[in-house]
Amino acid sequence: MSRDCLFCRIAAHDLDGDIVFESEDVLAFRDINPQAPTHILVIPREHIPSAHEVSSAHAGVLAQMYALTSKLADDEGLSEGYRLVSNVGPAAGESVPHLHMHLMGGRTMTWPPG
Ligand code: 5GP
Ligand code: ZN
């Protein structure tokens, strides 16, 4: 838990977040500035700065994150498909340096992303 980290503070219920799921290891909450009808952020409770810092020691929590995105996609009715995005570093648009996966759906996605 980093006191300076927005997502650590949401995970600790220190800041408000529209939390849709939480367990001992992972958390999901709605993005404050949604870019699609469904836009949920899935994070590990552990403060990992980005996907670049992920190691094999994180295998279990990463699997929990992917399993959770599948469950949430079902819950949100995203049977037509959805997008999972993890921005790494400022050039890719990472604005909160705590590993997070964007789960976006409910509209047609274009490729390539901007
Ligand atoms: P990034 O730009 O790092 O890939 O994604 C960070 C995401 O966090 C952005 O989509 C942004 O809208 C979202 N965000 C930033 N601050 C807050 C907040 O205080 N609460 C919630 N729920 N989302 C936030
Ligand atoms: Zn954090």
* Domains of the chain: residue spans and CATH: 6-105 (3.30.428.10)
What's the 91 CA to ligand 2 centre distance in angstroms? Answer: 20
Position 2 scores a pLDDT of 81
Closest Cα partner for 27 from 8, 15, 44, 9? 44
What's the 106 CA to ligand 1 centre distance in angstroms? Answer: 19
User: Residues 78, 81, 87, 91: is their CA dihedral positive or negative?
Assistant: negative
Our answer on whether the CB atom of 84 is closer than 6 Å to any ligand 1 atom is: no
Our answer on whether the CB atom of 17 is closer than 6 Å to any ligand 1 atom is: yes
52 labelled catalytic? no
Position 3 scores a pLDDT of 81
Site to substitute for ligand 1 among 5, 32, 35, 52, most atoms within 8 A of C-beta: 32
Our answer on whether the CB atom of 50 is closer than 6 Å to any ligand 1 atom is: no
Task: Encode the chain (114 residues) as per-residue pLDDT tens digits.
Answer: 788 999 999 999 999 999 999 999 999 999 999 999 999 999 999 999 999 999 999 999 999 999 999 999 999 999 999 999 999 999 999 999 999 999 999 999 999 988
Position 60 scores a pLDDT of 98
Please tell me the residue having the least CA distance from ligand 1 atom 8: 31
Q: What are the strands of the beta sheet with 82-85, ordered from one edge?
A: 19-22, 26-30, 38-44, 101-105, 82-85
Position 111 scores a pLDDT of 96
